[in-house]
Amino acid sequence: MPLPNLSQSFNDIDHRDPKGEYIPISVEGLSTGFVKDLELYVRAGNAFFLVKPKTMELSPSLMSRFWGKFPYLYIHHTARSTYFRSLENSVTSIIKSPNYGVREKASVLTDYAVEIVDQMMRDPSSHVAIKSAENFAKECVNFIASSQHAFIHLVELSNHDHYTYAHSVGVAAYAVALAQSMGTWSKQQIADIGLAGLLHDIGKSVIDPGILNKAGPLNEVEWQAMKAHPTEGAKILRLHKHLNPVISLCAEAHHEDLRGMGYPKGIIASEVDSSVQVITLADAFSALTTNRSYSKSKDAMAALKLMRENVSKKFDPKFFERFVFMFLDPKKKDEDALFLKGA
């Protein structure tokens, strides 16, 4: 079963600079060249050291010093807009190119998504960031369609990051892969589902960071505040009037369930658009397998087993079955059947 490897040694570390002065970029995407004209830094503890001046060539020998040793290099925040323009201008050609492998493409796409989520969390009304998010969703669909388990590489690479970013990218990747595997949606509809996955938690941008990052259980007042994020997210996304309404619906309903015992409205999830079930599944699996401030991540198999216990309560059986099949070897159908039956 080719489940994502989410337990690498640096997975317990938040590689983002707490001061925000340096921005992480994935080492695995260096060979695509989109940062070749920028200064690059390495991090040692809380210090950052220049390893590539702007005028130095980003040669294979230089890149080999970092591969397998660091998940990230860094750029200074003053170069952030230049970095993002280069990333946005390059992402489509990189995803299309036969010259780059799946990890390189996943790395670039992950860095792109993380920057977009960061922009949206800082300014959820930004129409520019929404356009970038739509472009990410389109390229995410193209990338995940390119090979059977491409989505796993996106998840593995994003999981080195802060929970908010890792989770957003993970939900988008799982949602696109599941929607594609169902075979019932058009390419544009799948892109909308991917966008819904990326932005499903955008309502958390208005929640007190002290609540979002609390290391222990939330008290009742804090929990009620947290439960407002689906409603707030839908409000934000409806301000972007050109978006497919299903995107705001997914934000609003991704914590509803099949018994009408979810939140914020307590509606029966199967009675709304089926894309909500895609986001609900993707959200649950990503949340279980991503480190959070108050809980350690589960391995992928443990997460699937826990989710299996909630089939017909929270998850539609046919969607869950297809979700499991995304990870399994198509030549081992007997093993698939045993897992779905709880053996």
Tens digit of each residue's pLDDT (9 = 90 or more) over 165-194: 889 999 999 999 999 999 999 999 999 999
DSSP state letter for 311: B
DSSP 12-69: GS--S-TTSSEEEEEGGGGGG-TTTTS-EEEEETTEEEEEE-TTS---HHHHHTTTTT
Q: What is the CATH topology of the domain spanning 78-341?
A: Hypothetical protein af1432 (1.10.3210)
pLDDT at 92 over 70: yes
* Ramachandran angles phi, psi of 333, nearest 5°: -65, -35
Helix (H, G, I), strand (E, B), or coil: what is residue 73?
strand
Q: Let me know: does 266 contact 260? Beta carbons within 8 Å.
A: yes
DSSP state letter for 332: -
Q: Are strands 47-52 and 22-26 parallel, antiparallel or unpaired?
A: unpaired
pLDDT at 342 over 70: no
The residues, ordered by sequence, that sit 6+ positions from 6 with a Cβ below 8 Å of its Cβ are: 155, 156, 159, 289, 290, 297, 299, 300
pTM for the full model? Answer: 0.91
Whole-angstrom distance, CA of residue 248 vs CA of residue 235: 8
pLDDT at 4 over 60: no
* Tokens 């990189």 sit on residue: 94
325 pLDDT tier (thresholds 50, 70, 90): confident
- Residue-level pLDDT at 340: 58
pLDDT at 328 over 90: no
Work out the widest C-alpha separation in the chain, in whole angstroms. 60
Q: Which residues face 26 on adjacent strands?
A: 72
Spell out the SS3 assignment of 213-230: CCCCCCCHHHHHHHCCHH
Q: What is the mean pLDDT of residues 111-134?
A: 96
Whole-angstrom distance, CA of residue 168 vs CA of residue 116: 10
- Which stretch, 17-21, 103-107, 212-216, has highest mean pLDDT? 103-107
**Mean predicted lDDT score pLDDT of the chain:** 89
E-assigned strands of the chain? 22-26, 40-44, 47-52, 72-76
The token pair that represents 218 in the structure block: 């939330």
- Tell me the CA distances in angstroms from 50 to 20, 38, 126, 283, one per residue in order: 17, 11, 33, 38
* Tokens 């290099």 sit on residue: 73
- Tell me the CA distances in angstroms from 258 to 71, 170, 241, 301, 316, one per residue in order: 40, 23, 29, 23, 8
pLDDT at 9 over 50: no
pLDDT at 11 over 60: no
